[in-house]
Structure 1
């Protein structure tokens, strides 16, 4: 059932067994899983069914560190959460990502990849993906295109799957509306987390509409699933009973913010005889849309003390109709509108997207022409590529989200995001490219021109808008905010869902792992809540 707290009949008291805050991939998955297991769930969403300027304004904050990032437009405060922005690329984290590694401060997760595998398999369905197979050996006999013949002890072919992408608002609105065990409230903005007197347990949440209708939510168990920035902001603002904020006894809430460094650099020049189509085009087989990249083996990554990275080969065609240099804000806005209309939906932020497209009609016209021209032009094999990646960063406690004096309409402090990108982050990526280049040269396939200097330009790194790590998972409360079960160490019945619990980021888009962790958390809560 879905209701709106703005309506006159909204109650002052709302009760359930489990209260989940946030309707993005983490919160929606947890609520649906719990309901299917017979639990009564209160599901809270601060926004409405669609984009609203005054609601979205609550996400506004400051950027004080690396500037190639955003704190408001990268997120959506509405039903379905930021899945409305998601591009859909999926892969599980590698087993190495969970292990303590030198060069990353020795940090590792308190769980292992094998602990998540059963939940990754179930997450595939939530995201409209194919079978749970992400090893090239699983696809080699199905996909007819050859992999590059590189030394398998050094470089391997990495497998990703492409979601449509799944928009949680579109796919699951009907399921939430029809589920009698889910009591979903829109425009229910969380304004306070209250602990029971004399205990380490949450007793209730205070929620409010922008118009001033307030309510109290009571449950046995509470889950914050509001994203890598907002989860930290909520905990830091909950200072009425704990002056430093809930869960912040060791000053860790908001710290270790990490993101993926989106970088397109380094040129790969392959011989004319080399067939690289596997890497330059998506492939659809066995119910899955696949994309392939190049990655160093886990053993080499560990030995070289590198972060993980999967490099995609972006073709650089001689014929300009194959160029994608038109893909700026105007084209993306136009494309978003077209995709929404094609699905029979009114686009979110229609006026904003329309203005962006009109302001850059040249790019839009170029993009439309090239899209049409490619359908009739003879195919052109590419032999020059750029390496594109969402590269991992090493955890850094100085990279952080913190409160500032400015407040929103509820009197909650806004945040500043101090994203740190270091020269070491980029030098690890440079070394990765160097090793890939050595493997390509040793195989006689071509050569590589490094695009990252020995004194790297930090401005080449852009945010992947993958907000991670601000309530990180660790078995030691002095090194993490939540334990291996995503429970806040210092609160008996408060859990965190989403990428803020990631201990390290890996190089995979976080959404598949977010959903897998959500299913795992729901299993635990269904058994104990």
Structure 2
């Protein structure tokens, strides 16, 4: 069932086996998996069924580090969470992402890729993806063109699958409403986590709506699944019994914030006879939509001291009709508004998106004109390609989420986001591009013009809006906030779900891993509940 705390119809206290806070991909997946196993779930969502300005405003905060990011607009505080505007690219993390590395302090998880493989496979249907196969050899027989003939021990073709993208509100809201094992309450903002007398476990949590209606929740296990920024904010704010915040005995909550650096700059020119059809757009094989890119082999990543990265070839045309440099925030806002009106509804965040369109009207007009012209003009052959990626960052304890003095209407302190983009991260990416260029040249395929300078220009790096790492997983409480089962080291029955537990970011978009970890956590909780 789905109730609303604003209605005043909620009882003073709710009880269940597991209380899950947050209804994004992590929270909904976790709730549905637990319900399948017969567990009674209390699912709390701070927003409503759709976008609401007053709920969204609770996310507002400050940016104190790298400026090409935001702290509020990239998240959605409503049922379905930020799945409401993700782009849908999916791939699992690579084995090298889980492995400690001597050249990179704080790298590595307490679990390995093999530990997640069965859960990745179970996560695929949640995101409307194809088979759990991300190796090019599986797709090769039906691929629309050949892979570039590169030495696969150096550089190989990588595969990403494309979710529609799945909007969890559209796909799962009615399932949750009809599920007798799930009691979901909207407008239920977590405002306190109360520990037992011994301070060893959560006794209850308190939730409140903006109009003052409140509810207490008691459960055997509690899971916070509110995203990479909000998970840390909640733990830091809940400090009535632990002044430093829950799980923050070693000052790690909020630290190691990481994102993917979205960069599109280096230029690749392939020789005229080279067929790059495989790489220059999305392709559908069977029922699966795929993206193909280039990735450096893991042995070379470690040997050369690189960060992990998948580089996608973005075609550049002599005829500007087919170039996409107009695709920025104004164009995205315009596209979302057009889609909403086409479905007969007013766009969410209409005022904000309208302003983004007006502020960038020139590019929006260019994009609209080119889309019309593409319907009547034949597409020419690309003359070159830009490399685009969401590049990995090294773990950095100084990149972090902290509290500021300003409080929201519920009394929680707001956050400052200090995202650090370092010279070393950008230079590692420069060396990655250089190595790819060397392999293209050695194979006689083409040449490259590096787009990252030395010293690097930080302004080329934009956020991928993949908020990760603020309650990181580690076996050692002095190096991580949660253990291998996503449980706070210092609180017996409190778990974190979502990308905040990532120890490293890799180069895969995080939603598939978020979903796989939620399924894994659901199995663990169901098995350990009395």
TM-score range, shorter chain: over 0.9
**Uncovered stretches (5+) of structure 2, i.e. residues with no partner:** none
1:280 aligns with 280
User: CA deviation digits over 1:39-93, x for unaligned, max 9?
Assistant: 1100000111111111111111111111111101111111110111201000000
What is the CA deviation profile of residues 278-333 of structure 1, one whole-angstrom value per residue up to 9, with x for unaligned ones?
Answer: 11111100211000111100110011111100001111111011011222333211
Q: What corresponds to 2:436 in structure 1?
A: 436
Question: What is the deviation of 1:186?
Answer: 0.4
Question: Comparing 6-15 with 483-492, which one deviates more in the overlay?
Answer: 6-15
Query: Whole-Å Cα distance in 1 between the matches of residues 495 and 479 of structure 2?
Result: 17
SS of the aligned residue for 2:228 comes to helix
**Any residues of structure 2 matched to 1:90-169 within 5 Å, and which?**
90-169=90-169
Separation in 1, partners of 2:480, 2:55: 31
Would the aligned equivalents of 1:261 and 1:391 in 2 still touch at CA under 8 Å?
Answer: yes
Write the distance in 2 (CA, Å) between the matches of 1:358 and 1:302. 46
Structure 2 counterparts to residues 4-43 of structure 1, below 5 A: 4-43=4-43
Match of 1:270 in 2: 270
The Cα shift of 1:460 comes to: 1.0
- Write the distance in 2 (CA, Å) between the matches of 1:299 and 1:74: 35
1:334-353 equivalences under 5 Å are 334-343=334-343, 345-353=345-353
Aligned to 1:385: 385
Q: Which residue of 1 aligns with 2:463?
A: 463
TM-score computed with the length of structure 2 as normaliser: 0.98
* Local SS of the residue matching 2:313: strand
Q: Deviations over 1:356-405 (max 9, x none)?
A: 33554443332222112212211211130111100000001111111111
Q: Does 1:526 align with 2:501?
A: no
Q: Distance in 1 between matches of 2:11 and 2:68?
A: 43
Q: 1:59: which partner in 2?
A: 59
Deviation at 1:342, TM superposition (A): 4.1
**More moved, 422-431 vs 356-365:** 356-365
State whether residues 191 and 208 of structure 2, in contact with CA within 8 Å, keep that contact through their aligned partners in structure 1: yes
Counterparts of 1:101 and 1:51, CA distance in 2: 42
Post-superposition Cα deviations, 1:232-258, rounded to whole Å, max 9, x if no partner, equal 000011110011101011111000111
1-structure distance, mates of 2:471, 2:462: 22
Aligned-partner SS, 1:174: helix
Give secondary structure in 1 for the equivalent of 2:311.
strand
Superposed CA RMSD: 1.2
Aligned equivalents of 2:236, 2:396: Cα separation in 1: 19
Q: d(CA) in 2 for partners of 1:25 and 1:368?
A: 32
Question: Aligned partners of 2:288 and 2:16: how far apart in 1?
Answer: 38
Are the equivalent residues in 2 in contact too, given 1:268–1:386 (CA < 8 A)? yes
Shift of 1:355: 4.0
Of 207-216 and 501-510, the range deviating more from structure 2: 207-216
Q: Which residue of 2 aligns with 1:319?
A: 319
- Residues 1:346 and 1:167: Cα distance change in structure 2 (over 3 Å): farther
Task: Point out the more displaced range, 511-520 or 353-362.
Answer: 353-362
Deviations, residues 450-507 of structure 1 (Å, cap 9, x unaligned): 1111210111111111010100000111100000010111111000000000000000
Q: Which runs of 5+ in 1 are unaligned?
A: none
State the 1:350 CA deviation.
2.6
Matches within 5 A, 1:211-360: 211-343=211-343, 345-360=345-360
Q: Is the 8 A contact 1:102 1:305 kept in 2?
A: no
Greater alpha carbon shift after TM alignment, 492-501 vs 377-386: 377-386
- Partner of 1:418 in structure 2? 418
Give, in whole Å, the separation in 1 of the partners of 2:209 and 2:358.
34
2:498 is matched with which residue?
A: 498
Secondary structure of 2:278 counterpart: helix
Indicate if the aligned counterparts of 1:104 and 1:307 stay in contact, CA closer than 8 A: no
Q: Number of paired residues?
A: 529
How far is the alpha carbon of 1:144 from its aligned partner?
3.5
**Maintained 8 Å contact 1:101/1:305:** no
State the shift of 1:17 in Å.
1.0
Separation in structure 1 between the aligned mates of residue 115 and residue 341 of structure 2, nearest angstrom: 40
Matched, 1:49 2:49: yes
Alignment deviations for residues 120-154 of structure 1 (CA, whole Å, 9 cap, x no partner): 11111000111111001111112131111111111
Equivalent residue, structure 1, for 2:88: 88
For the 8 Å contact 1:103–1:306, the answer to whether it is kept is no
2:75 is aligned with 1:75:
yes
* Partners of 1:75 and 1:81 within 8 A in 2: yes
Contact residue 498 and residue 518 of structure 2 kept, 8 A: yes
Distance in 2 of aligned mates of 1:407 and 1:461: 30
Verify the 8 A CA contact 2:322 2:379 in the aligned structure 1. no
Give the drift of 1:38: 0.7
- Of the structure 1 ranges 341-350 and 316-325, higher mean CA displacement relative to structure 2 is found in 341-350
Displacement of 1:354: 3.4
* 1:195 to 2:208 alignment: no
Q: Which residue of 2 aligns with 1:485?
A: 485
Moved more, 505-514 or 402-411: 402-411
Distance apart, 1:213 and its partner CA? 1.0
How many angstroms does 1:204 deviate by? 0.4
Residue 338 of structure 1, CA deviation:
2.3
Q: In terms of mean alpha carbon deviation, does 378-387 or 355-364 score higher?
A: 355-364
CA pair 306-77 structure 1, distance change in 2 beyond 3 A:
same
**Farther-moved stretch of structure 1 (506-515 vs 402-411):** 402-411
**Would you say the 8 A contact 1:131–1:287 is kept in 2?**
no
| In 1, Cα distance between equivalents of 2:300 and 2:331 | 39
| Larger displacement relative to structure 2 (489-498 or 99-108) | 99-108
| CA distance in structure 1 between the partners assigned to 2:333 and 2:463 by the alignment | 19
1:269 is displaced (CA, Å) by: 0.7
